[in-house]
Amino acid sequence: MDAPSDLKLRVAALLTARKIRNLNFTVIVLNVALIVFVFLMLDQGPPILRMSRKSEEAIDITDRELKAALARSNEKLTILLMYPERWDANNVMRLPYHCGNCEVSLDKSKVENPSTKALVFNFNDPIKEIAPQTRRRDQYYVWITAESPVALYHLRKMDLKGFDDFFNLTMSYRRDSDVYSPYGTHQQLRSYRKDLPFSDAELDTWVKSKSKVALWVASNCHATKHAVARKDYVMELIKAGLDVELGGKCFQNSAANFRNHKFKFYLAFENAWHCRDYITEKFWHSGLRSGVVPVVLGPPKRDYETIAPSPKSFIYAGDFPTPRHLAEYLNYLDKNDSAYKEYLNWMKTDRKEVKERDRVTGFCQLCRILHGINVDNVYNPDYKAKYKHIPLYQRPEGPRIVYSLNEWFYGSDYKECLGVSGLET
């Protein structure tokens, strides 16, 4: 072999060796990168929320991020209630750590304290009269109500148009409130589950202990046409053969006289029908918490399905064409334990398996907002339209404003809520 050929072979061998070394180095780098990526993903902790809207808008909030934000919330802030409460005005309510660092107070002398960042006004008070004469730019004004539009508009004749641009946040039972404050939550249900059956054997015993069929407790029977209509509906159930015990002010019989868990069904009929998310303690406490199947009539069925522990944890009266058909079905369940127990199976679900709806609520969510922790906004059905511009872990650059309280509370509710279909007073 001549010299030039030998040189070419040696050069080719060197180039091949270099390519192999480069390839090996690339493989090593990729492996290291993969290991680092996996480590970082594991270090993030389990995701507590995953909302997939469009792929580019997917939101992942990890436990690690939230804990870091809570740890930064070391300044104690005050939420001041501008309305009387049942507890002593000198007392304060400290919120749990997962809410942020806040106290809830009734002490009006704190209104000018630099740490007082939210003033909460009850819908029924002379709000502009009790508000400070000089408004601080760093204080949120919060409007709170637990009443339906029917109660405010028809019974109390409340005109909310005078509050345009006055409030920063709304706080109510509606899921599209800035601060969601429902009558009940899944966290509360889980805390009460220790008193309810978990196993099949316990559930059998629980059902056999029920000696009565249905209970209805009501204090409002004549204030609106709707209150009259629901009483008429219950009377039709009784006429159709359903055994219903009656209690409350409507029947001069104290609700305290009844032991709810002895009944199979509780008639959780709201005094306002077709009002968005208006699901009260009748559903949560008189029904689910007591281990009783709530028979519901109020907002549309989809509103119940959104918050219920299971699609089969309640019976929607609107699914039946007449009260007689509903009475027949309830009497069927009363005589068939296996079919009835299907409505109680949600109680056996281990708390780790319960579908997560763990959006923090009420003053806990408000405290987070004051500390710039806005992660709970993503649970709001109007998130994309109202909150997408608000950072998850810091205060927005501009103020949060309720531009029209009247339009939000009255105008955006279901049209049937405030007068259509015989609901007017």
Are residue 302 and residue 418 in the same domain, yes or no?
A: no
pLDDT in tens, 202-257: 889 999 999 999 999 998 888 888 889 999 999 999 999 999 999 998 888 765 56
Q: Are 80 and 409 in contact (CB under 8 A)?
A: no
**pLDDT attached to residue 107:** 92
The pTM of this model reads 0.82
**pLDDT attached to residue 33:** 45
Centroid of chain to Cα 261? 25
At residue 107, the 3 state secondary structure works out as coil
Among 327, 348, 369, give the residue marking a domain's end: 348
61 within domain boundaries: no
Question: What confidence category does residue 169 fall into, taking pLDDT thresholds of 50, 70 and 90?
Answer: very high
**pLDDT attached to residue 87:** 65
- Asked whether the predicted pLDDT for residue 60 surpasses 90, the reply is no
**pLDDT attached to residue 75:** 95
Average pLDDT over residues 387-391: 89
Are residue 100 and residue 192 in the same domain, yes or no?
A: no
The first and second tokens of residue 195, run together, are 């008193």
Average pLDDT over residues 79-83: 95
Are residue 251 and residue 389 in the same domain, yes or no?
A: no
The first and second tokens of residue 28, run together, are 């090593």
**pLDDT attached to residue 191:** 75
CA pair distance 420, 72, nearest whole angstrom: 49
127 within domain boundaries: yes
The first and second tokens of residue 382, run together, are 């109007």
What does DSSP assign to residue 65? H
Are residue 164 and residue 203 in the same domain, yes or no?
A: no
214 within domain boundaries: yes
β-strands 102-105, 116-122 pairing: unpaired
**Out of 72-76, 163-167, 187-191, 308-312, which region has the weakest mean confidence (pLDDT)?**
187-191
35 within domain boundaries: no
Are residue 190 and residue 281 in the same domain, yes or no?
A: yes
Range of the domain at 120: 75-181+361-422
Are residue 173 and residue 225 in the same domain, yes or no?
A: no
Average pLDDT over residues 341-346: 94
Are residue 210 and residue 265 in the same domain, yes or no?
A: yes
**Out of 11-20, 84-93, 177-186, 364-373, which region has the weakest mean confidence (pLDDT)?**
11-20
- Asked whether the predicted pLDDT for residue 24 surpasses 60, the reply is no
Question: What confidence category does residue 38 fall into, taking pLDDT thresholds of 50, 70 and 90?
Answer: very low
Are residue 142 and residue 80 in the same domain, yes or no?
A: yes
1 within domain boundaries: no
For 338, residues 6+ apart whose C-beta sits below 8 A from its C-beta are none
Are residue 160 and residue 307 in the same domain, yes or no?
A: no
Average pLDDT over residues 399-414: 95
Are residue 170 and residue 202 in the same domain, yes or no?
A: no
CB atoms within 10 A of CB 380: 18
- Asked whether the predicted pLDDT for residue 421 surpasses 60, the reply is no
At residue 209, the 3 state secondary structure works out as coil
Max CA distance (Å), the chain: 119
- Asked whether the predicted pLDDT for residue 179 surpasses 50, the reply is yes
Among 289, 314, 348, give the residue marking a domain's end: 348
Are residue 118 and residue 255 in the same domain, yes or no?
A: no
66 within domain boundaries: no
Average pLDDT of the residues of the chain: 83
pLDDT in tens, 136-159: 999 999 999 999 999 999 889 999
Are residue 315 and residue 228 in the same domain, yes or no?
A: yes
CA pair distance 171, 120, nearest whole angstrom: 9
- Total number of domains constituting the chain: 2
375 within domain boundaries: yes
Specify which residues 104 forms β-bridges with: 79, 93
What does DSSP assign to residue 153? I
- Say which CATH number the domain at 302 has: 3.40.50.11660
